[in-house]
Structure 1
Amino acid sequence: MRLHRNLVFATVDSLHLIFNKEKQADKVLRNTLKRDKRWGSRDRSFIAETTYDIVRWKRLYAEIAEVKEPFDRENLFRLFTVWATLNGIKLPDWPQFEGTPTRRIKGRFDSYKDIRKIRESIPDWLDEVGLAELGVQWEKELAALNQLADVVLRVNTLATDKDSLQRSLQEEEIDTEAIKGLPHALRLKERQNVFVTEAFKKGWFEVQDASSQRVAQFLDPAPGMRVIDACAGAGGKSLHIAALMENKGQVIALDIYDHKLKELKRRAKRNGAHNIETRIIDSTKVIKKLKESADKVLIDAPCSGLGVLKRNPDTKWKLQPEFLDAIRKTQAELLTSYATMVKKGGQLVYATCSILPSENQKQVAAFLQKEEGAKFTVTKEDIILPSVSGFDGFYMALLQKED
């Protein structure tokens, strides 16, 4: 592989914003990739994948390069040098790469093989939390979460079917394959920009990880029901629920952020999902008005996001112990408050994209001990581990309310 100066510099600029200015990686890359209209898909892939790779392995690369944060420009180039050397890429004769100690880099890499927190590139405190909660399983999950995430599409059955979508993408030289056990999922055989396709413009699919697609299936909504998506965000799961309900019945999408609900409205229009109503939670009255009104309620709770480090590797550097404590408290409050919207005989699904039992099974167990929780029983749960599924880590529990 021959390195191009403008692509390497764009990568280093992106790393500066992510590491030193604490900007979100996906937003940084969205802006970086708009910088030069002459860049083709291969150029854009190089910048995005290299940036994410260095973010993912920040701790390991920094230890090898013997640099500490905040990283100045010289240090960022040293991180890039480590990445290139470990990936067998010949460095060009540029001033930034003068005197690269190739053999020393490889030697230092080998020396960290037995130190998990450095080898798997994870902060000390987070490694301790994972080990305390998951024991020996933590090591397997870390290794799986450091793999690059697949691109998975969800077929929008309100607009098309799986075969038609596959054919449409094939015409634009995008090859996909089905995923066992997921009727509406297609995995890309190689990473490509699917947002410029005709099929996307027509609302034929959404990009949604395989594990995330399991949540609406687990909720199992039926046409004609009233379903509440209580933490809807930009609405990936609301859209899936609407499709499973065949646009019949009502999906009420709630969130505390108005801008996310506006994005959901835009996506719903493109999807042809007409049975979604958005409501902003701007006071406790919103929840009280919906008391015992829903056949099904989904609480896709805010969480640490540890199950989705494959696609959001910068999360592990931004997480703090205080946030984890605060988010567990929020999860408990949401479960107690939002469970009141389930009608007698109705069902509640509590889900997170975390792999920590303290955010999952333990939250549900604690809820069942409370006055509101005493009306529910757990009928099934699904623990999706990245090391087993190959996809994001998720947890979901289905709770049945007594008649």
Structure 2
Amino acid sequence: MRLHRNLVFATIDSLHLIFNEEKQADKVLKNTLKRDKRWGSRDRSFIAETTYDIVRWKRLYAEIAEVKEPFDRSNLFRMFAVWATLNGIKIPDWKQFEETPTRRIKGKFDELSKIRKYRESIPDWLDTLGQHELGKKWDAEIAALNQLADVVLRVNTLKADKKQVQNALSDLDIETETLSKYPDALKLKERANVFVSDAFKNGWFEVQDASSQRVARFLDPQPGERVIDACAGAGGKSLHLAALMENKGQIIAMDLYENKLKELKRRAKRNGAHNIETRVIDSTKAIKKLIEKADRVLIDAPCSGLGVLKRNPDAKWKLQPEFLENIKRTQQEILSSYARMVRPGGSLVYATCSILPSENEQQVKTFIASEAGSEFNFIKDDKIMPSSSGFDGFYMALLQKKEK
């Protein structure tokens, strides 16, 4: 493989913004990839995949390259050289690579690979936390979370079926395969930009990880019910709920951020989902108006996001121990407040994209032991671990409100 100067420089520029200016990786790449209209899909995927790879392995590569943050441009080129060498790519004869100790790279890699925090490229505190919460399972989970995420689609059954979507994408040379335990899912055999397809523009599918697709089904919404998605965000799960409810009944999608709900409205229009109403949680009144009014409530709670590091590798560098403590308090507050919207006999699902018991089953136990949670019975839960599923890490618990 021959390295092209403009692609390497675009990668270095992206890394500078992500590491030194703490910009979000996906937003940085969105802008970088618009820089040169002559770049083909192969060029763009080189920039995106290489950038994500170096972000994912930042600690390991920085240690091998003997550089420390904040990284200047020569540091970033040294880290790039580590990436290239470990991937069997010949370092070009450019002045930026003059001081690359290529001979030492592989030896240092072998040496550091014996130490988990370097091998899996994670901060010390996160390694300690994972070991504390998951014990021997931590090795397998953090290794799985460092794998590249598959691209999984959720077929929108309001508009199409799996065969139609497969055929439409196949016409564009995008091949997919079905997943046995996921009724609405199609997995791409190779990464491709599916957003330019007519099938996407016509609302036939959404991109949604297989684990995330389990959440709406776990709530088991029925056509004609009133369902509340209390932390809806941009609405991936609201759209799935609409499809499962066959557009019948009412979905109230709530969030603190109006801009996310605007995005949900746009997506709902494309999906042909007509039974979704959005409401901003701008005060406690928004919740009070709905006390005991819902057949089912989904709380897809804010969390550490540790279960989705495959697709957000920059999150492990932004996450801090104090954020984790704060988010656990927030999870408990949300559970206590939003659970009031469930009618007697109705159902509540608490879900996170975390693999930590302290954010998951321990939160549910704490809630049920509290005054607010004493009205609920625990029915069942589901822990999806990246090492066994191959997809994102998720947790979901189903609770039922006692009849009066």
Confirm or deny a common fold (TM above 0.5).
Answer: yes
SS in 2 for 1:392: coil
1:342 maps to amino acid: V
Task: Name stretches of at least 5 consecutive residues in structure 2 with no aligned partner.
Answer: none
- DSSP 3-state at the match of 1:67: coil
Secondary structure of the 1:247 match is coil
How far off its partner does 1:105 sit? 0.4
Q: Structure 2: how far apart are the matches of 1:99 and 1:294?
A: 64
- Match for residue 102 of structure 1? 102
- 1:191-244 deviation per Cα after TM superposition (whole angstroms, max 9, x unaligned): 000000110111100000000000001111110000000000000000000010
* CA drift at 1:316: 0.3
SS of aligned partner of 1:51: helix
Q: How does 1:3-402 map to 2 (within 5 A)?
A: 3-402=3-402
Q: Distance in 2 between matches of 1:4 and 1:179?
A: 38
Deviation digits for residues 250-308 of structure 1 (CA, Å, limit 9, x no counterpart): 00000000000000000000100000000000000000000000000000000000000
SS at match of 2:253: strand
Specify the SS of the correspondent of 1:210.
Answer: coil
CA distance in structure 1 between the aligned counterparts of 2:195 and 2:93, rounded to whole angstroms: 37
Q: Deviation at 1:37?
A: 1.0
Q: Residues 157-178 of structure 1: CA distance to partner in whole angstroms, max 9, x if unpaired?
A: 1111000000000001100000
Structure 1 SS opposite 2:186? strand
Q: CA deviation at 1:103?
A: 1.7
Distance between the aligned counterparts of 1:53 and 1:211, measured in 2?
Answer: 23
What is the deviation of 1:335?
0.4
Counterpart Cα distance in 2 of 1:400 and 1:43: 51
CA distance in 1, matches of 2:356, 2:64: 30
Give, in angstroms, the shift of residue 97 of structure 1: 1.2
Which whole-Å CA distance do the structure 1 matches of 2:299 and 2:199 have between them?
Answer: 30
RMSD: 0.6
Distance in 2, Cα, partners of 1:50 & 1:356: 29
CA distance in 2, matches of 1:378, 1:29: 43
Deviation digits for residues 349-388 of structure 1 (CA, Å, limit 9, x no counterpart): 0000000000000000000011121111111100000000
Q: Helix, strand or coil for the counterpart of 1:279?
A: strand
CA deviation digits over 1:301-354, x for unaligned, max 9? 000000000000000000011100000000000000000000000000000000
Supply the distance in 1 between the matched residues of 2:9 and 2:113 (Cα, whole angstroms): 30
Shift of 1:99: 3.9
Amino acid in the other structure paired with 2:130: G
Q: CA deviation at 1:100?
A: 2.3
Runs of 4+ in 1 over 2 A off after TM superposition: none
Shift of 1:91: 1.3
- Between the aligned partners of 2:398 and 2:175, the Cα distance in structure 1 is 35
- Distance in 2 between the 1:179 and 1:209 partners? 12
CA distance in 1, matches of 2:99, 2:118: 25
| 1-structure distance, mates of 2:182, 2:116 | 34
Give aligned-pair identity as a percent: 77
> Following TM superposition, by how much is the alpha carbon of 1:67 offset from its aligned partner in structure 2, in angstroms?
0.1
* TM-score calculated relative to the size of structure 1: 0.99
Q: Where does structure 1 lack aligned partners over 5 or more consecutive residues? A: none
Take 1:327 and 1:402, find their aligned partners in 2: how far apart are those partners? Answer: 28
Secondary structure in 2 aligned to 1:184?
A: strand
Q: Equivalents in 1 of 2:36, 2:121: separation in Å?
A: 32
Q: In structure 2, how many angstroms separate the alpha carbons of the residues matched to 1:269 and 1:134?
A: 42
Determine the C-alpha separation between the residues in 2 that align with 1:107 and 1:162: 48
Q: Secondary structure at the match of 2:206?
A: strand
Q: What is the identity, as a one-letter code, of the residue corresponding to 1:249?
A: G
- CA distance in 1 between partners of 2:380 and 2:181 (Å): 17
